[in-house]
Amino acid sequence: MKNKTLSVLLILFYIFSSSHLISQERRWSIVLHGGAGSFSGTIDNSSKNEYVKALVAALEIGKSILENGGASIDAVQAVVVELENCPLFNAGKGAVMNADGFFELDAAIMDGSSLMAGAVAGVKDIKNPVKAARMVMDSTKHVLLIGEGASMFAISKNLEIVPNSYFSTEKRVEQYNKIQKGSEKPYPGGTVGCVALDVNGNLSAATSTGGMSGKRWGRVGDVPVIGAGTYANKIVAVSGTGHGEIWIRRVVAHDIAALMEYKDLSLEDASNEVIFNKVGPMGGSGGGIIAVDSKGNISMVFNTDIMYRAWAKSSGEQGAGIINSTVK
């Protein structure tokens, strides 16, 4: 009788352990952002709904990949492509103009499972820079390609090439004219990005941007600098948005990973430490990060009035937000 009872208990334990392992293996999380910044007054409901709709549309693309067992690297790329194609954000179509009135785009992607990364900077004719960044990661021994070299590489990989005017929108032309007249100051923020954990436990990050509005020709910010605006390893994946020069000097994305690895800080504590205690005192009061760790925890920390963001987990948790309140 005792042996029979023991056998039953062992079988139940095995079933529980197996189901627990399966649930652990099937865990996924995803977070995306569409940039951060300041605003005067309030955002009207029409604009708010438009942004939320765009964020959720991108989120659903990433969710679908992860729910079906897809790789996090594919999920973050697909989400960023969607955001690059949306004229609401400062990346791809809808990117800001530089001081000379044309567009220069940057993007990066990183696979945390292998520490492989790819990036492009200062490109003027690649429709989806994040696709070129992925090609750099997958098809070359390099990490970063710039300018005409990056474009020639993209052409060799049959990526879609467009005229520089493709990236223009009425909103950006108006913004450029205001900067030229001195009625608006150049703004350093505005980026899109995505981080994800897949069911196999792999973390990835991708980021894309048009950079700083009114920037000097040839200026490159933090996005394509691995460890500054984009980083992923086996512990955490981070994508940032903010003042690129400070993000580079502060090595924001990698610093969060280092605090978690070497000081054993939680994801939220590490994110808060970097954004509020390290970036803030340097004058970097204009940005934030999204991040996900190997346990599926997510972080969305920003020191601005707004950060366009959306997130989802395999647990069923999902939301989208712009200001400090959320829309679910």
The residues that are catalytic are 191
**Residue 107, token pair as written in the block:** 């993007």
Q: Are 52 and 86 in contact (CB under 8 A)?
A: no
> What order of strands is seen across the sheet that includes strand 298-302?
230-232, 236-241, 288-293, 298-302
List, in sequence order, every residue forming a beta bridge with 300; answer none if it has no partner: 290
Beta strand 318-321 pairing with 326-327: antiparallel
Distance from C-alpha of 109 to C-alpha of 245, rounded to nearest angstrom: 19
> Residues in the chain, how many?
328
List, in sequence order, every residue forming a beta bridge with 42; answer none if it has no partner: none
Q: Are 80 and 207 in contact (CB under 8 A)?
A: yes
Q: Which long-range contacts (CB under 8 A, 24 or more apart) does 136-140 make?
A: 137/109, 137/110, 137/111
Distance from C-alpha of 112 to C-alpha of 279, rounded to nearest angstrom: 24
- Nearest CA to 242 out of 259, 266, 225, 265 is that of 225
Distance from C-alpha of 15 to C-alpha of 80, rounded to nearest angstrom: 40
Residue environment code for 76-114, b if the CB has 16+ CB neighbours within 10 A, otherwise e? bbbbbbbbbbbbbbbbbbbbbbbbeeebbbbbbbbbbbe
